[in-house]
Amino acid sequence: MLTFDARPWRGLVHILASGDPCQDNSVAGKRAGSSGSRFLAPEVCRICTECRPDIVFRENVPGNASEQLEVIAPALEGLGYRVAAGIFSSARTGNTMRRERLFVLAVADGGIGGDGGLQRGGQFGFQPQGDGTGECDAGSSD
């Protein structure tokens, strides 16, 4: 992912699905968060900048949900996406074990169905950010 050039795919990708390895975000791991080598949210933003998919869908453990969302939601909104996020448990589907996951869905403004079908400022209260240049300002992945 760190070396993938998504520019040749611009206009050809409709859905970008991603999920970081969980170790940096898990409460069971070292809890390195955004300083860990497996924290790939900035790379997802870079790829979105390069190929501009209609939809971005992410999944990860919820242990570091606030930091994950602080990085990715404003960056995607700055690129013109409407972002919705939530933590859901597999127990709600009748599963006997409780397995919570953070899901993030971002839809390009005017992309699918005209208005993207999502409302800003939902559960996490994110407001649009960015200067409209389309540059993703989510930090670096060094």
d(CA 123, CA 45): 21
Least confident of 1-5, 7-11, 44-48: 1-5
Amino acid (1-letter code) at residue 93: T
Exposed (0-12), middle (13-18) or buried (19+): which is 103, by Cβ within 10 Å?
Answer: middle
- pLDDT tens-digit series, residues 24-72: 666 666 666 666 667 788 888 999 999 999 999 998 888 778 888 888 8
Catalytic residue from among 22, 48, 51, 136: 22
d(CA 67, CA 77): 16
In sequence order, the 6+-apart residues with CB closer than 8 A to the CB of 132 are: 78
Q: How many helices, marked H, and strands, marked E, lie in the chain?
A: 2, 4
The share of the chain scoring above pLDDT 90, in percent, equals 30
Give the global pTM. Answer: 0.71
Which of 89, 88, 83 shows the shortest CA–CA distance to 69? Answer: 83
pLDDT at position 2 is 77
More confident residue, 23 or 132: 23
- Write the DSSP symbol of residue 119: -
Active site residue 22: yes
